[in-house]
Amino acid sequence: MDAVHITGTTRLYAVLGDPVRQVRAPALLNPVFARLGRDAVLVPVQVRPDGLPELIRALTAVGNLDGLLVMVPHKQTCRRLADSVTDAALSGSVNALRRRPGGGAVDDGARMD
Protein backbone atom coordinates (compact mmCIF):
# COMPACT_ATOMS: atom_id res chain seq x y z
CA MET A 1 0.00 0.00 0.00
CA ASP A 2 1.36 3.41 -0.98
CA ALA A 3 1.55 6.06 1.71
CA VAL A 4 -0.65 9.10 1.21
CA HIS A 5 0.81 12.41 2.35
CA ILE A 6 -1.96 14.25 4.19
CA THR A 7 -1.47 17.81 5.42
CA GLY A 8 -3.58 20.72 6.60
CA THR A 9 -4.18 21.66 2.96
CA THR A 10 -5.41 18.23 1.84
CA ARG A 11 -8.89 18.28 0.32
CA LEU A 12 -11.15 15.49 1.58
CA TYR A 13 -13.64 13.32 -0.26
CA ALA A 14 -15.65 10.51 1.34
CA VAL A 15 -17.49 7.44 0.08
CA LEU A 16 -20.61 6.91 2.19
CA GLY A 17 -22.05 3.43 2.45
CA ASP A 18 -23.19 0.60 4.66
CA PRO A 19 -21.19 -1.58 4.41
CA VAL A 20 -18.01 -0.14 2.84
CA ARG A 21 -15.78 -3.26 2.68
CA GLN A 22 -16.53 -3.63 -1.03
CA VAL A 23 -15.75 0.02 -1.93
CA ARG A 24 -13.04 0.26 -4.58
CA ALA A 25 -13.19 3.98 -5.35
CA PRO A 26 -10.36 5.00 -2.95
CA ALA A 27 -7.97 2.47 -4.53
CA LEU A 28 -8.89 3.80 -7.97
CA LEU A 29 -9.10 7.54 -7.34
CA ASN A 30 -6.32 8.21 -4.80
CA PRO A 31 -3.61 7.22 -7.34
CA VAL A 32 -5.31 9.50 -9.88
CA PHE A 33 -5.22 12.40 -7.41
CA ALA A 34 -1.50 11.73 -6.88
CA ARG A 35 -0.73 11.50 -10.61
CA LEU A 36 -2.55 14.78 -11.22
CA GLY A 37 -0.72 16.47 -8.36
CA ARG A 38 -3.98 17.02 -6.44
CA ASP A 39 -3.60 17.38 -2.69
CA ALA A 40 -6.70 15.25 -2.04
CA VAL A 41 -7.71 11.94 -0.54
CA LEU A 42 -10.84 9.79 -0.79
CA VAL A 43 -11.78 7.68 2.24
CA PRO A 44 -14.61 5.19 2.87
CA VAL A 45 -17.03 6.12 5.67
CA GLN A 46 -19.41 3.49 6.98
CA VAL A 47 -22.62 4.94 8.34
CA ARG A 48 -25.88 3.21 9.16
CA PRO A 49 -29.02 4.68 7.57
CA ASP A 50 -30.26 6.05 10.90
CA GLY A 51 -27.01 8.01 11.35
CA LEU A 52 -26.88 9.44 7.83
CA PRO A 53 -28.75 12.75 8.35
CA GLU A 54 -26.52 13.70 11.30
CA LEU A 55 -23.36 12.71 9.39
CA ILE A 56 -24.36 14.74 6.31
CA ARG A 57 -24.95 17.82 8.48
CA ALA A 58 -21.56 17.34 10.13
CA LEU A 59 -19.65 16.67 6.90
CA THR A 60 -21.09 19.68 5.10
CA ALA A 61 -19.67 21.82 7.91
CA VAL A 62 -16.12 20.48 7.34
CA GLY A 63 -14.28 23.26 5.51
CA ASN A 64 -11.76 21.05 3.70
CA LEU A 65 -14.32 18.46 2.54
CA ASP A 66 -15.16 18.90 -1.14
CA GLY A 67 -17.42 16.00 -2.04
CA LEU A 68 -19.19 12.78 -1.19
CA LEU A 69 -19.67 9.67 -3.28
CA VAL A 70 -22.88 7.94 -2.27
CA MET A 71 -23.32 4.16 -2.17
CA VAL A 72 -26.30 1.94 -1.43
CA PRO A 73 -28.34 2.20 0.76
CA HIS A 74 -27.92 6.00 1.03
CA LYS A 75 -28.65 7.24 -2.51
CA GLN A 76 -32.31 8.19 -1.98
CA THR A 77 -31.83 9.65 1.49
CA CYS A 78 -28.91 11.79 0.30
CA ARG A 79 -31.12 13.10 -2.50
CA ARG A 80 -33.64 14.25 0.11
CA LEU A 81 -30.89 15.74 2.32
CA ALA A 82 -29.24 17.74 -0.49
CA ASP A 83 -29.85 21.49 -0.34
CA SER A 84 -30.41 21.52 -4.11
CA VAL A 85 -30.28 18.99 -6.92
CA THR A 86 -29.58 18.92 -10.64
CA ASP A 87 -31.78 17.42 -13.32
CA ALA A 88 -29.67 14.26 -12.97
CA ALA A 89 -31.28 13.67 -9.56
CA LEU A 90 -34.84 13.66 -10.87
CA SER A 91 -34.74 9.88 -10.49
CA GLY A 92 -34.97 10.39 -6.73
CA SER A 93 -31.40 9.36 -5.92
CA VAL A 94 -27.86 10.75 -6.15
CA ASN A 95 -24.42 9.30 -6.81
CA ALA A 96 -22.38 12.25 -5.56
CA LEU A 97 -22.75 15.44 -3.56
CA ARG A 98 -20.52 18.50 -3.71
CA ARG A 99 -20.03 20.57 -0.57
CA ARG A 100 -20.82 24.23 -1.09
CA PRO A 101 -18.04 26.62 0.03
CA GLY A 102 -20.23 28.05 2.80
CA GLY A 103 -21.60 24.64 3.87
CA GLY A 104 -24.50 22.55 2.70
CA ALA A 105 -24.52 20.00 -0.11
CA VAL A 106 -25.68 20.02 -3.70
CA ASP A 107 -26.11 17.09 -6.06
CA ASP A 108 -23.67 17.70 -8.86
CA GLY A 109 -24.64 15.09 -11.41
CA ALA A 110 -21.80 12.81 -10.19
CA ARG A 111 -19.04 15.40 -10.89
CA MET A 112 -16.09 15.52 -8.50
CA ASP A 113 -14.17 18.66 -9.51
Residues catalogued as catalytic: 75
In this structure, what are the phi and psi dihedrals at residue 26, rounded to the nearest 5 degrees? -60, -40
Q: How far is CA 89 from CA 7, 86, 96, 107, 111, in A?
A: 34, 6, 10, 7, 12
Please tell me whether the peptide bond between 49 and the residue prior to it is cis, using omega within 30 degrees of 0: no
Which of these, 14, 22, 110, lies nearest to 66 by C-alpha position? 14
Q: What is the tally of helices (H) and strands (E) in the chain?
A: 3, 5
